[in-house]
Homo-oligomer: A and B are copies of this chain.
Amino acid sequence: MMDQKLHNFIENQQKLIDEELIAGIKELKIPTNLSESMKYSLEAGGKRIRPMLIQSVLNDFGKSHADALKVGAAVEMIHTYSLIHDDLPSMDDDDFRRGKPTNHKVYGEAVAILAGDALLTYSFGVLARMDNIEAELKLELISLLSETAGAEGMVGGQIMDLEGESKQLSLQELEQIHLHKTGELLRFSIEAGAILAEISQEERLILREYAVHIGLAFQIQDDILDITGTMEQLGKTAGKDVISEKSTYPSLLTLTGAQEKLQQHHDKALEALGRLSLQDDMLRRFADYIVNRAN
Protein backbone atom coordinates (compact mmCIF):
# COMPACT_ATOMS: atom_id res chain seq x y z
CA MET A 1 0.00 0.00 0.00
CA MET A 2 2.98 2.30 0.53
CA ASP A 3 5.27 3.20 -2.35
CA GLN A 4 8.92 2.20 -1.99
CA LYS A 5 10.40 5.70 -1.74
CA LEU A 6 8.07 6.68 1.10
CA HIS A 7 8.58 3.29 2.71
CA ASN A 8 12.37 3.74 2.75
CA PHE A 9 12.07 7.31 4.02
CA ILE A 10 9.75 6.28 6.85
CA GLU A 11 11.79 3.23 7.81
CA ASN A 12 14.93 5.34 8.02
CA GLN A 13 13.19 8.07 10.02
CA GLN A 14 11.49 5.60 12.36
CA LYS A 15 14.81 4.09 13.39
CA LEU A 16 16.30 7.51 14.15
CA ILE A 17 13.29 8.74 16.07
CA ASP A 18 13.05 5.50 18.06
CA GLU A 19 16.69 5.89 19.12
CA GLU A 20 16.17 9.55 20.00
CA LEU A 21 13.09 8.80 22.11
CA ILE A 22 14.71 6.04 24.14
CA ALA A 23 18.00 7.94 24.56
CA GLY A 24 16.02 10.80 26.08
CA ILE A 25 14.31 8.59 28.67
CA LYS A 26 17.46 6.62 29.46
CA GLU A 27 19.35 9.66 30.70
CA LEU A 28 16.67 10.44 33.29
CA LYS A 29 17.36 9.43 36.90
CA ILE A 30 13.86 8.29 37.81
CA PRO A 31 12.05 5.36 39.51
CA THR A 32 12.27 2.17 37.42
CA ASN A 33 8.54 1.71 37.36
CA LEU A 34 8.06 5.14 35.82
CA SER A 35 10.75 4.78 33.15
CA GLU A 36 9.47 1.30 32.22
CA SER A 37 5.95 2.62 31.82
CA MET A 38 7.12 5.59 29.72
CA LYS A 39 9.30 3.34 27.52
CA TYR A 40 6.54 0.75 27.13
CA SER A 41 4.26 3.20 25.38
CA LEU A 42 7.03 4.96 23.46
CA GLU A 43 8.15 1.56 22.10
CA ALA A 44 4.65 0.29 21.33
CA GLY A 45 5.19 0.56 17.60
CA GLY A 46 3.74 3.88 16.61
CA LYS A 47 4.00 4.94 13.00
CA ARG A 48 5.90 8.11 13.99
CA ILE A 49 3.80 10.11 11.54
CA ARG A 50 4.34 13.40 13.37
CA PRO A 51 8.16 13.35 13.42
CA MET A 52 8.02 12.07 9.86
CA LEU A 53 5.96 15.07 8.75
CA ILE A 54 8.56 17.44 10.22
CA GLN A 55 11.30 15.70 8.23
CA SER A 56 9.12 15.61 5.10
CA VAL A 57 8.68 19.38 5.13
CA LEU A 58 12.43 19.88 5.52
CA ASN A 59 13.12 17.28 2.84
CA ASP A 60 10.70 18.75 0.29
CA PHE A 61 12.17 22.24 0.77
CA GLY A 62 15.67 20.81 0.28
CA LYS A 63 16.65 21.48 3.88
CA SER A 64 17.78 19.56 6.92
CA HIS A 65 18.13 20.58 10.58
CA ALA A 66 20.29 19.14 13.36
CA ASP A 67 17.45 19.56 15.89
CA ALA A 68 14.64 18.11 13.75
CA LEU A 69 14.84 14.77 15.57
CA LYS A 70 14.52 16.50 18.96
CA VAL A 71 11.39 18.32 17.82
CA GLY A 72 10.10 15.02 16.44
CA ALA A 73 10.78 13.32 19.77
CA ALA A 74 8.94 16.10 21.63
CA VAL A 75 5.77 15.85 19.53
CA GLU A 76 5.87 12.04 19.63
CA MET A 77 6.04 12.20 23.44
CA ILE A 78 2.95 14.41 23.44
CA HIS A 79 1.15 12.03 21.07
CA THR A 80 2.15 9.05 23.24
CA TYR A 81 1.00 10.66 26.49
CA SER A 82 -2.34 11.49 24.87
CA LEU A 83 -2.85 7.84 23.89
CA ILE A 84 -2.02 6.66 27.43
CA HIS A 85 -4.56 9.05 28.95
CA ASP A 86 -7.19 8.44 26.23
CA ASP A 87 -7.07 4.69 26.87
CA LEU A 88 -7.83 5.03 30.62
CA PRO A 89 -11.01 3.43 32.00
CA SER A 90 -12.58 6.83 32.67
CA MET A 91 -11.91 7.89 29.06
CA ASP A 92 -12.16 5.47 26.11
CA ASP A 93 -11.52 2.42 28.33
CA ASP A 94 -9.37 0.54 25.80
CA ASP A 95 -7.56 -2.68 26.75
CA PHE A 96 -5.48 -2.92 23.56
CA ARG A 97 -3.46 -0.45 21.52
CA ARG A 98 -1.41 -1.48 18.47
CA GLY A 99 -1.97 -5.13 19.40
CA LYS A 100 -0.51 -4.80 22.90
CA PRO A 101 -2.22 -4.31 26.28
CA THR A 102 -2.66 -0.60 27.05
CA ASN A 103 -0.35 1.10 29.55
CA HIS A 104 -2.77 1.02 32.50
CA LYS A 105 -3.47 -2.69 31.92
CA VAL A 106 0.25 -3.35 32.48
CA TYR A 107 1.30 -0.71 35.04
CA GLY A 108 -2.00 0.23 36.67
CA GLU A 109 -3.96 3.44 36.34
CA ALA A 110 -1.92 5.58 38.73
CA VAL A 111 1.40 4.89 37.03
CA ALA A 112 -0.19 5.29 33.58
CA ILE A 113 -1.54 8.74 34.46
CA LEU A 114 1.84 9.78 35.87
CA ALA A 115 3.79 8.34 32.92
CA GLY A 116 1.59 10.47 30.68
CA ASP A 117 2.18 13.55 32.84
CA ALA A 118 5.93 12.87 32.77
CA LEU A 119 6.07 12.54 28.96
CA LEU A 120 4.06 15.73 28.55
CA THR A 121 6.29 17.65 30.96
CA TYR A 122 9.52 16.27 29.50
CA SER A 123 8.64 17.21 25.92
CA PHE A 124 8.89 20.93 26.72
CA GLY A 125 12.28 20.43 28.36
CA VAL A 126 13.53 18.65 25.23
CA LEU A 127 12.61 21.71 23.15
CA ALA A 128 14.05 24.19 25.65
CA ARG A 129 17.42 22.41 25.73
CA MET A 130 18.06 22.01 21.97
CA ASP A 131 21.56 23.03 20.90
CA ASN A 132 21.43 23.92 17.23
CA ILE A 133 18.72 26.53 16.97
CA GLU A 134 18.38 30.12 18.05
CA ALA A 135 16.46 31.00 21.21
CA GLU A 136 13.59 32.85 19.49
CA LEU A 137 12.79 29.87 17.27
CA LYS A 138 12.86 27.49 20.24
CA LEU A 139 10.35 29.72 22.01
CA GLU A 140 8.15 29.78 18.91
CA LEU A 141 8.16 25.95 18.87
CA ILE A 142 7.38 25.75 22.61
CA SER A 143 4.53 28.24 22.29
CA LEU A 144 3.13 26.38 19.27
CA LEU A 145 3.33 23.01 21.02
CA SER A 146 1.57 24.39 24.11
CA GLU A 147 -1.17 25.85 21.92
CA THR A 148 -1.75 22.84 19.65
CA ALA A 149 -1.45 20.19 22.39
CA GLY A 150 -3.45 22.05 25.03
CA ALA A 151 -6.95 23.25 25.88
CA GLU A 152 -7.36 25.09 22.56
CA GLY A 153 -6.01 22.13 20.62
CA MET A 154 -5.74 18.40 21.32
CA VAL A 155 -7.02 18.38 24.92
CA GLY A 156 -10.00 20.52 23.91
CA GLY A 157 -10.70 18.06 21.09
CA GLN A 158 -10.69 15.15 23.52
CA ILE A 159 -13.26 16.99 25.70
CA MET A 160 -15.45 17.60 22.61
CA ASP A 161 -15.10 13.93 21.70
CA LEU A 162 -16.22 12.79 25.17
CA GLU A 163 -19.16 15.21 25.14
CA GLY A 164 -20.14 14.09 21.63
CA GLU A 165 -20.19 10.39 22.43
CA SER A 166 -23.71 10.33 23.74
CA LYS A 167 -25.36 12.36 21.00
CA GLN A 168 -25.91 12.52 17.26
CA LEU A 169 -23.34 14.94 15.82
CA SER A 170 -23.57 17.11 12.73
CA LEU A 171 -20.81 16.82 10.13
CA GLN A 172 -19.52 20.22 11.24
CA GLU A 173 -19.33 19.14 14.89
CA LEU A 174 -17.53 15.95 13.90
CA GLU A 175 -15.02 17.98 11.89
CA GLN A 176 -14.41 20.33 14.81
CA ILE A 177 -13.61 17.36 17.05
CA HIS A 178 -11.08 15.93 14.61
CA LEU A 179 -9.53 19.29 13.72
CA HIS A 180 -8.73 19.65 17.40
CA LYS A 181 -8.20 16.11 18.65
CA THR A 182 -5.80 14.97 15.92
CA GLY A 183 -5.53 17.89 13.49
CA GLU A 184 -3.81 20.36 15.78
CA LEU A 185 -0.83 18.12 16.57
CA LEU A 186 -0.39 17.35 12.86
CA ARG A 187 -0.46 21.10 12.28
CA PHE A 188 2.27 21.46 14.90
CA SER A 189 4.43 18.97 13.02
CA ILE A 190 3.96 20.67 9.67
CA GLU A 191 4.51 24.15 11.10
CA ALA A 192 7.50 22.96 13.14
CA GLY A 193 9.01 21.74 9.85
CA ALA A 194 8.29 25.18 8.38
CA ILE A 195 9.95 26.92 11.37
CA LEU A 196 13.05 24.70 11.14
CA ALA A 197 13.23 25.16 7.35
CA GLU A 198 12.88 28.92 7.86
CA ILE A 199 10.51 29.26 4.91
CA SER A 200 8.29 32.28 4.30
CA GLN A 201 5.09 33.02 6.22
CA GLU A 202 3.15 32.62 2.96
CA GLU A 203 4.57 29.15 2.35
CA ARG A 204 3.82 28.25 5.97
CA LEU A 205 0.16 29.24 5.57
CA ILE A 206 -0.16 27.03 2.48
CA LEU A 207 1.39 24.14 4.41
CA ARG A 208 -1.20 24.75 7.14
CA GLU A 209 -3.95 24.12 4.56
CA TYR A 210 -2.21 20.89 3.62
CA ALA A 211 -2.09 19.93 7.31
CA VAL A 212 -5.82 20.48 7.78
CA HIS A 213 -6.72 18.31 4.80
CA ILE A 214 -4.41 15.39 5.54
CA GLY A 215 -5.57 15.53 9.16
CA LEU A 216 -9.21 15.17 8.21
CA ALA A 217 -8.34 12.58 5.54
CA PHE A 218 -6.44 10.58 8.14
CA GLN A 219 -9.43 10.57 10.48
CA ILE A 220 -11.92 9.64 7.77
CA GLN A 221 -9.73 6.70 6.76
CA ASP A 222 -9.59 5.70 10.45
CA ASP A 223 -13.39 5.64 10.57
CA ILE A 224 -13.56 3.69 7.30
CA LEU A 225 -11.01 1.14 8.53
CA ASP A 226 -13.01 0.61 11.69
CA ILE A 227 -15.72 -0.79 9.41
CA THR A 228 -13.71 -2.48 6.67
CA GLY A 229 -10.60 -3.54 8.64
CA THR A 230 -9.93 -6.56 10.84
CA MET A 231 -8.56 -6.66 14.38
CA GLU A 232 -5.38 -8.20 12.95
CA GLN A 233 -4.87 -5.29 10.58
CA LEU A 234 -5.72 -2.61 13.11
CA GLY A 235 -4.08 -3.99 16.26
CA LYS A 236 -7.20 -2.94 18.14
CA THR A 237 -10.82 -3.97 18.34
CA ALA A 238 -12.53 -3.35 14.97
CA GLY A 239 -16.14 -2.27 14.66
CA LYS A 240 -16.01 -0.52 18.01
CA ASP A 241 -17.55 2.69 16.62
CA VAL A 242 -20.57 0.86 15.22
CA ILE A 243 -21.16 -1.03 18.47
CA SER A 244 -20.89 2.16 20.55
CA GLU A 245 -23.13 4.02 18.05
CA LYS A 246 -20.52 6.75 17.84
CA SER A 247 -20.95 9.42 15.17
CA THR A 248 -18.41 8.81 12.40
CA TYR A 249 -17.97 9.90 8.78
CA PRO A 250 -19.51 6.64 7.48
CA SER A 251 -22.43 6.89 9.92
CA LEU A 252 -23.14 10.46 8.81
CA LEU A 253 -22.30 10.14 5.10
CA THR A 254 -22.57 6.38 4.34
CA LEU A 255 -19.42 4.43 3.52
CA THR A 256 -19.40 5.64 -0.10
CA GLY A 257 -19.95 9.22 1.02
CA ALA A 258 -17.05 8.95 3.47
CA GLN A 259 -14.79 7.59 0.74
CA GLU A 260 -15.72 10.52 -1.50
CA LYS A 261 -15.00 12.98 1.32
CA LEU A 262 -11.65 11.27 1.90
CA GLN A 263 -10.78 11.73 -1.78
CA GLN A 264 -11.79 15.42 -1.67
CA HIS A 265 -9.48 16.15 1.26
CA HIS A 266 -6.68 14.24 -0.45
CA ASP A 267 -7.13 16.34 -3.59
CA LYS A 268 -7.21 19.61 -1.65
CA ALA A 269 -4.00 18.64 0.17
CA LEU A 270 -2.31 18.06 -3.21
CA GLU A 271 -3.76 21.28 -4.59
CA ALA A 272 -2.11 23.19 -1.69
CA LEU A 273 1.24 21.50 -2.35
CA GLY A 274 0.89 22.47 -6.03
CA ARG A 275 1.12 26.13 -5.02
CA LEU A 276 4.59 25.61 -3.48
CA SER A 277 7.96 25.27 -5.22
CA LEU A 278 9.10 21.98 -3.78
CA GLN A 279 12.29 20.08 -4.52
CA ASP A 280 10.90 16.67 -3.62
CA ASP A 281 7.53 14.93 -3.25
CA MET A 282 7.49 13.28 0.17
CA LEU A 283 4.50 15.32 1.38
CA ARG A 284 2.57 14.31 -1.76
CA ARG A 285 3.46 10.64 -1.25
CA PHE A 286 2.38 10.92 2.36
CA ALA A 287 -1.05 12.25 1.33
CA ASP A 288 -1.40 9.31 -1.06
CA TYR A 289 -0.45 6.87 1.68
CA ILE A 290 -3.12 8.20 4.03
CA VAL A 291 -5.83 7.39 1.50
CA ASN A 292 -4.48 3.92 0.74
CA ARG A 293 -3.32 2.72 4.16
CA ALA A 294 -4.80 -0.47 5.66
CA ASN A 295 -3.88 0.26 9.28
- CB-based contact B90/A109 at 8 Å: yes
- CB-based contact A31/B138 at 8 Å: no
Closest chain B residue to A129, Cβ basis = B143
Binding site for B on A (CB under 8 A): 28-31, 33-35, 38, 81, 85, 88, 90-91, 108-111, 113-114, 116-118, 120-122, 124-125, 127-129, 135-136, 138-139, 142-143, 145-147, 149-152, 155-156, 158-160, 162-163
- CB-based contact B30/A156 at 8 Å: yes
Which of A91, A114, A143 is most buried by chain B, counting CB atoms within 10 A of its CB?
A: A114
- CB-based contact A90/B118 at 8 Å: no
Residues in B with CB closer than 8 Å to A128 are 139, 142-143, 146
- CB-based contact B163/A117 at 8 Å: no
Which of A28, A113, A128 is most buried by chain B, counting CB atoms within 10 A of its CB?
A: A128
- CB-based contact B110/A125 at 8 Å: no
Q: How far is the CB of A43 from chain B (nearest CB, A)?
A: 16
- Whole-angstrom distance between the alpha carbons of A147 and B126 in the complex? 10
Q: How far is the CB of A129 from chain B (nearest CB, A)?
A: 6
Residues in B with CB closer than 8 Å to A152 are 28-30
- CB-based contact B138/A122 at 8 Å: no
Other A-B pairs, 6, CB within 8 Å; known A31-B159, A88-B110: A34-B155, A34-B156, A85-B113, A114-B158, A120-B121, A138-B139
- CB-based contact A110/B38 at 8 Å: no
Contacts known (A110-B162, A113-B88, A139-B128); A118 close to B38, Cβ less than 8 A = no
- Whole-angstrom distance between the alpha carbons of A163 and B36 in the complex? 14
- CB-based contact B111/A162 at 8 Å: yes
- Whole-angstrom distance between the alpha carbons of A124 and B122 in the complex? 11
5 A/B residue pairs, CB under 8 Å, sorted by A: A81-B117, A90-B110, A121-B146, A121-B155, A135-B135
Residues in B with CB closer than 8 Å to A143 are 125, 128-129
Residues in B with CB closer than 8 Å to A110 are 88, 90-91, 162
Residues in B with CB closer than 8 Å to A113 are 85, 88, 90-91, 113
Closest chain B residue to A38, Cβ basis = B151
Residues in B with CB closer than 8 Å to A85 are 113-114, 117
- CB-based contact B121/A150 at 8 Å: yes
Residues in B with CB closer than 8 Å to A91 are 110, 113
Residues in B with CB closer than 8 Å to A31 are 156, 159-160, 163
Residues in B with CB closer than 8 Å to A149 are 121
Q: How far is the CB of A246 from chain B (nearest CB, A)?
A: 15
Closest chain B residue to A153, Cβ basis = B121
- CB-based contact B159/A147 at 8 Å: no
